[in-house]
Amino acid sequence: MATPYQDDGQQQWAAEGQPDEGYSESTATTAVPVGGKKKRAYAGQAYEFGAGGNAAPGGLGAAGGQPPAAVGYGGAAGYGAAPAGAASYGQPGSYVAGQPVPYGAPGSADPNAPPIAQPPGYGQPQYGQPQPAYEAPQQGYPVQTPGVAGVTQQFGQMGVGAQPLPAAQQPGLQGGLAPAQRLNPLIPVDISAQGAPFHVSDLDLPPPPTILPPNSSVTPSPHANCPPKYVRSTLNAMPTTSSLLKKSKLPFALIIQPYATLHDAEDDVPVQYDQVIARCRRCRTYINPFASFLDHSHRWRCNMCNLTNDVPQSFDWDGAKQQSVDRWQRPELNYAVSEFVAPQEYMVRAPQPLIYLFLFDVSYAGVTSGLLATSARCILESLDRIPNTDRRTRLGFMAVDSSLHYFQIPRDESESSDSRMLVVSDLDEPFLPTPDDLLVNLSEARSNIETFLGRLQGMFASTQNSGSAMGSALRAGHKLISHVGGKMVVLSASLPNTGFGKLDMREDKKLLGTSKENALLQTQNSFYKSFAVECSKTQVSIDMFLFSAQYQDVASLSNLPRYTGGQTYFYPAWNAARTEDAMKFATEFSDYLSAEIGLEAVLRVRTTTGLRPSAFYGNFFNRSSDLCAFPAMPRDQAYVVEIAIDESVTKAFACLQVGVLHTTCNGERRIRVLTLSIPTTQNLAEVYASADQQAITAYFAHKAVERALSSGLDAARDAVQAKMIELLQTYRKELGGGNMGGGGLQFPGNLRGMPMLFLGLMKNLGLRKSAQIPTDLRSAALCLLSTLPLPLLMQYIYPRLYSLHDMPDDAGLPHPDHGAIVMPPALNLTSGNLVPYGLYLLDDGQTQFLWLGRDAVPALINDVFGTGDKNALKQGKTSLPMLDSEMNERVRAVVEKSRDHRGKGCGSVIVPPLYLIREDGEPSLRLWAQTLLVEDRADQGVSGAQFLGVLREKVVT
pLDDT digits (tens, 9 = 90+) for 740-796: 445 678 999 999 999 999 999 999 999 999 888 999 999 999 999 999 999 999 999
Burial class (CB in 10 A: 0-12, 13-18, 19+), 835: buried
What pLDDT sits at residue 181? 59
pLDDT digits (tens, 9 = 90+) for 821-845: 999 999 999 999 999 999 999 999 9
CATH number of the CATH domain containing 681: 2.60.40.1670
Q: Residue 752: inside a domain, yes or no?
A: no
Q: What is the mean pLDDT of residues 236-259?
A: 97
Q: Residue 954: inside a domain, yes or no?
A: no
* Residues 590, 601 share a domain: no
Residues 6+ apart with CB under 8 A from 872: none
* Residues 472, 403 share a domain: yes
What pLDDT sits at residue 736? 82
CATH number of the CATH domain containing 500: 3.40.50.410
Higher pLDDT, 767 or 180: 767
Q: Residue 82: inside a domain, yes or no?
A: no
Which is it for strands 271-272 and 299-301: parallel, antiparallel or unpaired? unpaired
pLDDT digits (tens, 9 = 90+) for 478-506: 999 999 999 999 999 999 999 889 999 98
* Residues 381, 446 share a domain: yes
Of the candidates 674, 691, 708, which is a domain's last residue?
Answer: 691
Query: Of all helices (H) and strands (E), which one includes residue 441?
Result: strand 439-441
Contact 192, 198 (CB under 8 A): no
What pLDDT sits at residue 775? 94
Q: What domain count does the chain have?
A: 2
- Distance between CA 81 and CA 74 in Å, rounded? 17
* Residues 641, 544 share a domain: no
Which region holds residue 220: left if phi is over 0, alpha if psi is between -120 and 50, else beta? alpha
Contact 210, 336 (CB under 8 A): no
* Residues 268, 411 share a domain: no
Burial class (CB in 10 A: 0-12, 13-18, 19+), 733: exposed
For residue 521, the enclosing domain spans 355-594
Give the DSSP per-residue string, 257-302: -S-SSSSGGG----EE-S----B-TTT-PBP-TT-EEETTTTEEE-
Q: Residue 178: inside a domain, yes or no?
A: no
* Residues 601, 587 share a domain: no
Q: Residue 830: inside a domain, yes or no?
A: no
pTM score above 0.85: no
pLDDT digits (tens, 9 = 90+) for 116-151: 333 333 233 333 333 333 333 333 333 333 333 333
Q: Residue 275: inside a domain, yes or no?
A: yes
Give the DSSP per-residue string, 322-353: TEE--GGG-HHHH-SEEEEE--GGG-SSPPPP
- Distance between CA 540 and CA 484 in Å, rounded? 8
pLDDT at 409 over 70: yes
Helix and strand counts by DSSP (H, E) for the chain: 23, 37
What pLDDT sits at residue 623? 85
What pLDDT sits at residue 658? 97
* Residues 360, 335 share a domain: no
* Residues 624, 554 share a domain: no
* Residues 574, 609 share a domain: no
pLDDT tier at 182 (50, 70, 90 boundaries)? Answer: confident
CA distances from 646 to 240, 241, 574, 609, 643 (A): 10, 8, 50, 9, 9
Is residue 177 classed as helix, strand or coil in its secondary structure?
coil
Task: Locate all alpha helices (DSSP H) within 74-232, ordered by sequence.
Answer: 147-157
Please give the span between the terminal C-alpha atoms of the chain, in angstroms, as a whole number: 59
* Residues 388, 496 share a domain: yes
Of the candidates 594, 628, 662, which is a domain's last residue?
Answer: 594
pLDDT digits (tens, 9 = 90+) for 610-659: 999 999 999 999 888 789 999 999 999 999 999 999 999 999 999 999 99
The DSSP output letter for 78 is P
Of the chain, the percentage scoring pLDDT greater than 90 comes to 65
CA distances from 108 to 85, 114, 746 (A): 5, 8, 21
* Residues 530, 407 share a domain: yes
Task: Locate all alpha helices (DSSP H) within 465-578, ordered by sequence.
Answer: 470-481, 527-537, 554-557, 559-562
Contact 598, 664 (CB under 8 A): yes
* Residues 379, 311 share a domain: no
Q: What is the mean pLDDT of residues 30-58?
A: 43
What pLDDT sits at residue 522? 87
Of the candidates 533, 565, 594, which is a domain's last residue?
Answer: 594
- Distance between CA 316 and CA 103 in Å, rounded? 58
